[in-house]
């Protein structure tokens, strides 16, 4: 039985009830973890309201603003956690963004601005987050980091466009982090989730059709649930996965292994 009693960690990427990060936070809370949650500040404060409510439900002790493209927010977030916790055990990076208009164009029409935006938020952001997290994890003698990826990193998924290279970069970053932080007992892995209906995926054209096909063609002949992705994430974050680092673990009902 995995337990997070006495463990502290940060979950980034809750937007609403459907967010993978929400499922992960719920699972970690159930297993006894003490959580800090972040929200991406928006002018109407929608995310903040939802996350404050979730924090109460999940017993999360800290709620912090964090736009991952803003270095000063990043610095402030980790300074607050360092002061409050003086050490940390895990981090979940469940953040991605691409301009919806870009995703509606042909892949060859991807703009430099759209590329920089998607890469910066969805991939690069894990580097400074891992660096800051590692400072706190060292105080606890190690830690575990998990990022969320998708099979579009290795297959040309229709309409996934710039997010494909962003996920390939995220997986390469995870391997680089695993190599560099491994000697300090800090592990870094990715969960490659099957298609799930969320706010982010609603920005991908014909996503519902893609999800239907993925369910039909998976080895398990169904789509996965957020709970299944959350359980695998908790496993990778836990001591039960102490020998696993630098991996992308598919939680997609076996879709990735099927020839057709
Ligand atoms: N839904 C799927 O089918 C699927 C499959 C595989 C992987 N993923 C990945 O899972 C992760 C979570 O996505 P989701 O499907 O739960 O959707 P979601 O929209 O609920 O979560 C994405 C999160 O990214 C946050 N975000 C965007 N820009 C940000 C910024 N600048 N700073 C901080 N946060 C920012 C949003 O606020 C949101 O909370 C993403 O990395 C996504 O690519 C999703």
Is it the case that residue 260 has pLDDT exceeding 90? no
pLDDT at 1: 84
For the CA of 12, the closest atom of ligand 1 is: 34
Q: How far is it, in rounded angstroms, from Cα 137 to Cα 142?
A: 5
For the CA of 16, the closest atom of ligand 1 is: 20
Q: What is the pLDDT of residues 34-59, one digit of tens each?
A: 999 999 999 999 999 999 999 999 99
pLDDT mean over 173-196: 98
Structurally, at CATH architecture level, domain 8-253 sits in: 3-Layer(aba) Sandwich (3.40)
Please give the radius of gyration of the chain, using alpha carbons only, rounded to the nearest integer: 17
| Confidence tier at 180 by pLDDT (50, 70, 90) | very high
Q: How far is it, in rounded angstroms, from Cα 140 to Cα 92?
A: 17
- Among 7, 8, 39, 167, the active-site one is 167
pLDDT mean over 186-209: 96
pLDDT mean over 186-213: 96
Mutate to test the pocket of ligand 1, among 12, 13, 160 (most ligand atoms within 8 A of CB): 13
Q: CB of 247 within 8 A of CB of 187?
A: no
Q: Where are the domains of the chain?
A: 8-253
Is it the case that residue 216 has pLDDT exceeding 90? yes
């Amino acid at each position: 039985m995995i337990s997070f009693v006495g463990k502290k960690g940060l979950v980034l990427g809750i937007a609403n009830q459907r967010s993978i990060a929400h499922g992960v936070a719920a699972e970690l809370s159930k297993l006894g973890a003490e959580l800090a949650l972040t929200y991406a500040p928006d002018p109407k404060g929608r995310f903040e309201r939802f996350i404050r409510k979730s924090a109460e439900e999940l017993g999360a002790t800290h709620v912090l603003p964090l736009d991952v493209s803003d270095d000063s927010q990043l610095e402030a977030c980790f300074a607050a956690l360092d002061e409050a916790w003086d050490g940390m055990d895990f981090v979940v990076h469940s953040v991605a963004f691409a301009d919806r208009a870009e995703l509606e164009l042909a892949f060859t029409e991807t703009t430099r601005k759209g590329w920089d935006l998607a890469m910066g938020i969805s991939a690069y952001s894990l580097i400074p987050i891992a660096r800051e997290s590692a400072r706190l994890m060292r105080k606890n003698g190690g830690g575990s980091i998990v990022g969320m990826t998708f099979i579009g990193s290795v297959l040309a998924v229709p309409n996934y466009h710039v997010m494909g290279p962003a996920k390939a970069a995220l997986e390469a970053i995870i391997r680089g982090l695993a190599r560099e932080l491994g000697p300090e007992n800090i592990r870094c892995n990715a969960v490659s989730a099957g298609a799930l209906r969320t706010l982010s995926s609603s920005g991908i054209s014909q996503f519902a059709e893609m999800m239907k096909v993925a369910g039909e063609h998976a080895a398990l002949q169904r789509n996965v649930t957020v709970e299944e992705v959350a359980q695998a994430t908790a496993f990778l974050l836990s001591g039960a996965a102490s020998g696993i680092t630098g991996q992308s673990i598919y939680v997609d009902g076996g879709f990735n292994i099927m020839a057709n």
